[in-house]
Chain A
């Protein structure tokens, strides 16, 4: 199998750079700065120190005994919800804002869906003293209000975007429009393993720490590698992060769980890997939700962080090569899994993360009692309480 960490920006036929000419030199500059930084011991030392002392790494891998008993298998949780700001997103933003400082950029922009990446960007900007503007769909501003308040407290300016579906896709459109205008002074801090090269490579690199740590932790605590690794996939950064640790261990199954929304058959979902087609959105070739005429279709998911019609290009390649498999679970299943984790383990997961948990009953049945399943618990669910209470009330 060829190395997946692409330097050319291609993962098989996927990835690339489909952007306006104005942005091409900035992407070259960013690629160069990243390659230099990753070879620079001083950069690595500063990154490691911030991840450890500020963000709280390493995060534990925890054996979930009550959930394991209920599901009839052995479940291990990589606790990214315990990172500072409550999700894995901060691994990437600390890295990218350090990089932005290195490039002498004086202003940071970001898109956000659930608000976790927005909060993590605003946090890193506050930490390093850079002004930050976050683009967020108006629909997401409504359903993720606590994170909007958090970003504002952290000193970020939040732009509420009303165009299109008023969700993550439209926030990313607007961030790209800002970047094309202010590209000389501004770093665009992309939050997932999506976007034009080098973003999938950079975000994948900063998130690979999840897989790197959890592989060592499984060996130490379980005495073996897991049989399967499960993560939710929107753009796919937490999944890519944890998969990275196990890609070379071919016996370890890698499973990504997309959002099936109201159900794949209804067409109201956010599952491009399961039910999309190859296309180009936001600078990269990958699977996207689109019409037969190549217009992008709005995604639907109860989870704002998964409510996106595209997915990172490396996932597209992992799907095609069969190294990872992708499935999807509905809003209802995710809400059930959300409650189950609260009840059995005393952990309130993010709605995004709940999608990974919703696939566990199926997988547990398949693998049986003598299996070890590692789940990326990508974020905590405090931000989702209002949505969950509303949704549960609607369902009676």
Chain B
């Protein structure tokens, strides 16, 4: 079993949901990313979604767009993100899911990326603009190397697409809570969590719900229904607001501990 599936199983054994925390690699810089990932893991993050910045992040709202811009201005590349994964891996066993857009992956070379990511200690891929129909070139080598490929289900996905995601998932399925970009205000998290819960039963796979989950109260709303909860923009905003790396680490510790406190017992 991979680290990500193990993290879900561990949380299940503790009768709670899995907390997935998004960080944009290289924001504010790659050394800080190592400290932030370790701090998040120590404060209750079960999985780190490590964002690989892209110049044209069409699924992201302003907070994550700005983080990607800062990171790219600092010279972040996919190769450097993998070095960062290696550094994080020396300090913690927290599962690391690489999260990003397809073009940097295509240019790096899919097979080469799978090999290098596996060697660096990364655990899987989630590629926002790579739907199942286009994903074989990355998914198949990734699975062959024991890495996870995380499919997405959206509120607009029809039964055929939902079934397809279920068949494709190796660990969990990312459930997009609403039609929108990351960081949007959630319209109705409770009913989104109910839909996710029904899908979880139908597919027999764990779902993690993301988009619009920002606070401890949000986590408390969704976590009784769904096996996983993803928080991204709120973490990125906390880092953006901090005047220094030390302050960002402190802020992330506080925020993640607080969010973890919302993971209600099932």
**B131 surroundings in chain A (CB, below 8 A):** 17-21, 24
Interface residues of B in 176-209 (CB under 8 A from A): 176, 179-181, 184
A20 touches B104 (CB 8 A): no
Q: Which residues of A contact B130 (CB under 8 A)?
A: 18
Report if B59 contacts A (CB, 8 A). yes
Whether B133 contacts A296 by the Cβ 8 Å rule is no
User: Is A281 in contact with B103, judged by CB distance below 8 angstroms?
Assistant: yes
CB <8 Å contact, B129 and A181: no
Q: A19-B131, A180-B180, A181-B179 are in contact. Are A25 and B102 (CB under 8 A)?
A: no
Q: Which chain B residues border A176 with CB–CB below 8 Å? A: 58
CB contact between B78 and one of A23, A169, A294 (< 8 Å): that residue: A294
CB-CB contacts below 8 Å: A11-44 with B: 16-26
Question: Residue B128 at the A interface, CB < 8 A?
Answer: yes
Q: Is the CB of A21 within 8 A of B105?
A: no
Q: Is the interface of B mostly helix, strand, loop or mixed?
A: loop
Residues of B within 8 A of A285 (CB): 106
B78 touches A184 (CB 8 A): no
The interface bits of chain B over 68-93 (1 if a CB of A lies within 8 angstroms of the residue's CB, else 0) are 00001000011100000000000000
- The reply to whether the CB of A239 lies closer than 8 angstroms to some CB of chain B is no
Chain B residues with CB under 8 A of A344? none
On whether the beta carbons of A20 and B103 are closer than 8 Å, the reply is: no
Q: How far is the CB of B15 from chain A (nearest CB, A)?
A: 30
Q: Nearest CB to that of A285 among chain B residues?
A: B106
A26 touches B129 (CB 8 A): no
- Given A164-B55, A282-B58, A293-B78: A21 touches B104 (CB 8 Å cut-off): no
Name A163's closest neighbour in chain B (CB-CB): B65
| Residue of B129, B155, B176 with highest tally of chain A CB at under 10 A | B129
A182 touches B179 (CB 8 A): yes
Nearest residue, chain B, Cβ from A297: B55
Chain B residues with Cβ below 8 Å from A221 are: none
Measured CB to CB, the closest approach of chain A to B137, in angstroms, equals 11
Q: Which residues of A contact B56 (CB under 8 A)?
A: 164, 169, 173, 281-282, 296
Contacts of A17 in B (CB 8 A): 131, 133-134
Asked if A273 CB lies within 8 Å of chain B CBs, one says: no
B22 at the binding interface (Cβ < 8 Å):
no
- Asked if A19 contacts B129 (CB within 8 A), the reply is yes
Contact for A177 among B58, B78, B79, B155, CB less than 8 A:
B58
Q: Distance (Å) between the CB of A293 and the closest chain B CB?
A: 4
User: Which B residues touch A106, using CB under 8 A?
Assistant: none
Q: Which of A246-292 contact B (CB under 8 A)?
A: 277-283, 285, 288, 290, 292
A and B contact pairs by CB, cutoff 8 A, 21 listed: A17-B131, A20-B128, A20-B131, A20-B154, A21-B176, A23-B156, A24-B154, A164-B56, A169-B56, A173-B56, A177-B59, A177-B61, A277-B107, A279-B106, A279-B107, A280-B102, A282-B56, A292-B107, A293-B79, A294-B107, A295-B104
Seen from chain B, the residues whose Cβ lies within 8 Å of a Cβ on chain A are 54-59, 61, 65, 72, 77-79, 102-108, 128-131, 133-134, 151-158, 161, 165, 176, 179-181, 184
Contacts A19-B129, A294-B106 known; list 12 others, CB within 8 Å: A18-B102, A173-B56, A176-B58, A180-B59, A182-B179, A281-B56, A292-B107, A293-B77, A293-B104, A294-B54, A295-B55, A296-B103
